[in-house]
Amino acid sequence: MAATAESMEISRTGRPAPVIRIIGWVNLGALAAFLINNVLNVGFGLPLASGIFAGDSQALIPAAVYGVFALLAVAHVLRNPDTALRWEARRIHRFNVFLIRWFFWAVLLIGVADVTIAFLRVENFLQLFFSQDMVRSLGQSRFVGPYVHVPLAGVAFVIALFTRTLGFLWLALLIAGAELLIVITRFVFSYEQALMGDLVRYWYAALFLFASAYTLFDEGHVRVDVLYAGLKTRTRGFLNALGSLALGASTSWVILGVGLSGRASVINSPVLSFEITQTGGVGMFIKYQMAIFLAIFAITMLIQFISYFFEAVADFRGEPGHVEHEAPAH
């Protein structure tokens, strides 16, 4: 059986490619700086870095954050000038896999906890286990978010450190099981609640948005191109490198730029208010989490596009370690 791209041993040293690596690492540094500045802007009221052009002295802080991370990116490349592109691409990919693994565990734990709380709330069972004050609190997303969802995300982080499963298959199985449960309860027991559909949508969104970055690594995305399959590896590498930055990374940056552009942006606003759907009183508190999913999608895709960019340039340069991704036999 042919080795997969993830399992192949890649040499750590190779032909220097300082410009290519600086482009990639500056993008990753800018991503880290952007996320930190989003917290500074939303949580502490600091202006956006663009405010420096309007003469806002406080904008020097977020601008300095970008500068520091840019310098760190350049310093990393210059400190390790002989690092092979493929080795660095796989290292970035492994970090991204850890992030995805963390998010998958988070949606599993939070989904199970939230649907349980929603069921107990709808059926008026909460008062059997909790005080009246706690029952009221568990009916408010502003309580459940910080005191239930966030701690469970922390538990998921710890689990992700010690397990290597991504969970694509079991999450798909859980979705199918949830759908089956809806069918059985609806048509056999004539029982249906909004929380059941919420759980399916919650896990569906996580499956497709979180799996996209890993699917890119495995060349699993559909290519609408009748010419690509017949091109040489070097030509494919050139096109993939160009597309990674001009189309892939730029799209991720647009999503982040629009979604995290201040307190009233499409991602920050629902998260800050712990926004829920109209069925939130009888369903799960998932709307603000679905907004976070968009940010997670853009972040993991941007990281993966940088990894893909390094791999593509290595293909263009004819470096060893290229892996042909073939469709699995059926």
- Residues 6 or more apart from 200 whose CB is under 8 A from it? 175, 178, 179, 182
What pLDDT, on a 0 to 100 scale, did the predictor assign at position 142?
A: 92
- Predicted local confidence at residue 327, as pLDDT: 43
Q: What pLDDT sits at residue 302?
A: 97
Structure pTM?
0.90
* Domain identity same for 242 and 268: yes
My answer on whether 38 and 54 are in the same domain is yes
Number of domains, the chain: 2
Co-location of 266 and 204 in the same domain: yes
Contact 122, 197 (CB under 8 A): no
Compute φ and ψ for 83, nearest 5 degrees. -65, 130
- Residue-level pLDDT at 220: 59
Residue 1 lies in a domain: no
The residue among 31, 65, 83 that closes a domain is 83
Closest to 311 (Cα-Cα) out of 128, 91, 86: 86
Q: pLDDT tens, 114-160? A: 999 988 988 888 988 899 999 999 989 899 999 999 999 999 999 99
**Amino acid 90: pLDDT:** 93
Quick one: pLDDT at residue 329? Answer: 38
- Residue 180 and residue 305 in one domain: yes
Residue 39 lies in domain: 15-83
- In terms of domains, do 153 and 193 share one? yes
Does residue 182 lie within any of the structural domains? yes
**In this structure, are residues 248 and 308 in contact, taking their beta carbons and an 8 Å threshold?**
yes
Low-confidence stretches of the chain (pLDDT < 70) are 1-9, 166, 219-226, 278-282, 324-330
- Are residues 27 and 93 both part of a single domain? no
* In-domain check, residue 73: yes
Alpha carbon distance 132, 126 (integer Å): 9
257: its two tokens? 């730029």
225: which residues sit within 8 A by CB, 6+ positions away? Answer: none
- Where is 66: in which H helix or E strand? helix 60-79
In this prediction, residue 222 carries a pLDDT of 61
Same-domain status, 168 and 261: yes
Identify whether 8 is part of a domain: no
CA distance linking residue 103 with residue 108, whole number of Å: 9
209 and 95 both lie in a single domain = yes
**Looking at residue 85, what is its pLDDT?**
94
Whether 7 is in a domain gets the answer: no
The residue among 64, 83, 102 that closes a domain is 83
Q: Are residues 58 and 152 in the same domain?
A: no
69 and 125, same domain (yes or no): no
Residue that terminates a domain, selected from 36, 57, 83? 83
| pLDDT computed for residue 262 by the predictor | 86
Query: Residue 108 domain-assigned?
Result: yes
| Residue 187 within any structural domain of the chain | yes
107/236 same-domain check: yes
- Does residue 124 share a domain with residue 37? no
